[in-house]
Chain A
């Protein structure tokens, strides 16, 4: 008999992440999504840049909360829904790994693809550096905010993908929930909700305790605060944990 080792946390996670990353590139998803994201984000930024003529990336970072709730669900929608539909989930989850290892493996792969999206926007930084003296600290803060934003949305999308065997349903639910997180931080939405429920000040409450925007905006302003780090990290961890729990419950 062959000696079979226990599959440690990192080994299990890296095996799943490797397969998922390979799948992104083998199925051309990585190329299509990255090119679409980079072309769209950069072209919208360039339009803004020529209008304002300022050497900063504020326009780019302001745009991202509206683009990412569409792009990131496209990355996560298939992660569990496809496993369910193709019935490969039974094979994967009867391997000697814990569900959380499978969840983290897929998450790491999705994060890596998102990082590739962001790398595609680096020419903007190089261009601004060549044209003037942008505040690189502010830009770094913006990218950190994007990473937190993306990490949370990817975890949310994976969790919602685990609830369905239909990728379209996973995509739509993640996009809708994602926009709720974003729009609850919009001034007009806050004012409307406060107006509709003045006793509850619902809009303000949602903005302060639920919305992603105050935390993301803090990063974009160059403020790396503990509450914002905990918000992104905590919600990401929560969604990943619920995802693993959903998979475990599936065995009942």
Chain B
């Protein structure tokens, strides 16, 4: 569903993403891990068609992000890095607005809005303005907006930012419930959160993909080396770990 082939993004002399390739199939929840400025958000911005790759090819649900961006955008739900929302819109009106732009209308729109409101537990803020909502609610509003059209591919940039530990667990269960026939890629710089939610890990630093492995594989490697999972990931990021 997500196919990234030798993708590079340059800004002048600076290479933000360097020859990155990976594939994510239906049913997979993949964590995109890396320190701040590693290139996670740049990759996600290219996947969602916000910026174009300098080189390489990205296909989302069979559609090329450069050749057919509208089809790509119809296929995916995207939570932006800063989860920017329209501050003075009411939450219900904001979800309706996003639903309409996503091609929903009438009963389908109402049903889908009710579904995301229930799944993201937004009932108590539904008639409030976005600016009146807490950080946790705002994050859930952003996730609800990304899911309202029932997308096949879901991209979430730091989705657990602002959520408390209980909300992270609830979010994990929610995302796992969604994943059966969807491809989900979410970024974080927090290994514990990524390990809680995903089954597979992409580790990126300085624009280069350093690791693409399941948590089971990484766990086995850590156990064999007598390290914790965190130590193993840190070694990978520091360039001390062997590529699998």
Q: Do A and B bind each other?
A: yes
User: Which among A7, A86, A251 is the interface contact of B101 at CB below 8 angstroms?
Assistant: A7
Let me know if B112 is at the binding interface, CB within 8 A.
Answer: yes
Let me know if A198 is at the binding interface, CB within 8 A.
Answer: no
Given that A2-B150, A94-B73, A95-B73 are contacting pairs, would A251 and B52 also be in contact in the complex, using a CB cutoff of 8 Å?
A: yes
CB–CB A26/B73 < 8 A: no
Q: Which of B81-106 contact A (CB under 8 A)?
A: 82, 84-90, 93, 97-98, 100-105
Collect the chain A residues with CB atoms within 8 Å of residue B45's CB. 90
Given that A12-B101, A88-B84 are contacting pairs, would A93 and B89 also be in contact in the complex, using a CB cutoff of 8 Å?
A: no
Collect the chain B residues with CB atoms within 8 Å of residue A237's CB. none
Let me know if B138 is at the binding interface, CB within 8 A.
Answer: no
CB–CB A1/B150 < 8 A: yes
CB–CB A96/B73 < 8 A: yes
Let me know if A15 is at the binding interface, CB within 8 A.
Answer: yes
Contact with B along A186-221 (1 / 0, CB 8 A): 000000000000000000000000000000000000
CB–CB A94/B48 < 8 A: yes
Q: How far does the Cβ of A79 sit from chain B's closest Cβ, in whole Å?
A: 13
Let me know if B140 is at the binding interface, CB within 8 A.
Answer: no
Let me know if B74 is at the binding interface, CB within 8 A.
Answer: yes
Let me know if B208 is at the binding interface, CB within 8 A.
Answer: no
CB–CB B84/A6 < 8 A: no
Let me know if A97 is at the binding interface, CB within 8 A.
Answer: yes
User: Which among B50, B105, B149 is the interface contact of A94 at CB below 8 angstroms?
Assistant: B50
Q: How far does the Cβ of B21 sit from chain A's closest Cβ, in whole Å?
A: 22
Q: How far does the Cβ of A252 sit from chain B's closest Cβ, in whole Å?
A: 6
From B51, B90, B97, residue with most partner A Cβ within 10 Å: B97
Nearest chain A residue, comparing its CB with the CB of B76: A94
Q: Which of A1-35 contact B (CB under 8 A)?
A: 1-7, 11-12, 15-16, 18-19, 22-23, 26-27
User: Which among A2, A23, A251 is the interface contact of B49 at CB below 8 angstroms?
Assistant: A251
Q: How far does the Cβ of A226 sit from chain B's closest Cβ, in whole Å?
A: 37
Given that A2-B149, A87-B84, A88-B86 are contacting pairs, would A251 and B103 also be in contact in the complex, using a CB cutoff of 8 Å?
A: no
CB–CB B52/A91 < 8 A: no
From A2, A7, A12, residue with most partner B Cβ within 10 Å: A2
CB–CB A251/B51 < 8 A: yes
Collect the chain A residues with CB atoms within 8 Å of residue B108's CB. 2-3
Let me know if B80 is at the binding interface, CB within 8 A.
Answer: yes
Let me know if B70 is at the binding interface, CB within 8 A.
Answer: yes
CB–CB B80/A90 < 8 A: yes
Nearest chain B residue, comparing its CB with the CB of A92: B101
CB–CB B102/A91 < 8 A: no
Collect the chain B residues with CB atoms within 8 Å of residue A96's CB. 70-71, 73-74, 101-103
Q: How far does the Cβ of B146 sit from chain A's closest Cβ, in whole Å?
A: 9
User: Which among B51, B104, B181 is the interface contact of A252 at CB below 8 angstroms?
Assistant: B51
Bound state CA distance, A4 and B71, in angstroms? 11
Bound state CA distance, A252 and B149, in angstroms? 27
CB–CB A22/B149 < 8 A: no
Contact with B along A219-252 (1 / 0, CB 8 A): 0000000000000000000000000000000011
Bound state CA distance, A87 and B83, in angstroms? 8
User: Which among B49, B84, B101, B145 is the interface contact of A15 at CB below 8 angstroms?
Assistant: B101
Let me know if B171 is at the binding interface, CB within 8 A.
Answer: no
CB–CB A94/B78 < 8 A: yes
Given that A2-B112, A88-B84, A251-B49 are contacting pairs, would A95 and B89 also be in contact in the complex, using a CB cutoff of 8 Å?
A: no
Collect the chain B residues with CB atoms within 8 Å of residue A93's CB. 50
Bound state CA distance, A87 and B81, in angstroms? 10
18 A–B pairs (Cβ distance < 8 Å), ordered by A: A2-B108, A4-B150, A5-B104, A7-B102, A11-B103, A12-B101, A16-B101, A18-B100, A19-B93, A26-B88, A88-B84, A91-B80, A91-B84, A92-B101, A95-B101, A96-B73, A251-B49, A252-B51
17 extra interface residue pairs, beta carbon distance < 8 Å, beyond A7-B103, A91-B85: A1-B150, A1-B181, A4-B150, A6-B103, A11-B105, A12-B101, A16-B101, A86-B86, A87-B82, A88-B84, A90-B45, A90-B80, A94-B80, A95-B98, A96-B71, A96-B103, A97-B101
Interface on B for A, CB 8 Å cutoff? 45, 48-52, 70-71, 73-74, 78, 80, 82, 84-90, 93, 97-98, 100-105, 108, 112, 129, 145, 149-150, 152, 181
Interface on A for B, CB 8 Å cutoff? 1-7, 11-12, 15-16, 18-19, 22-23, 26-27, 86-88, 90-98, 251-252
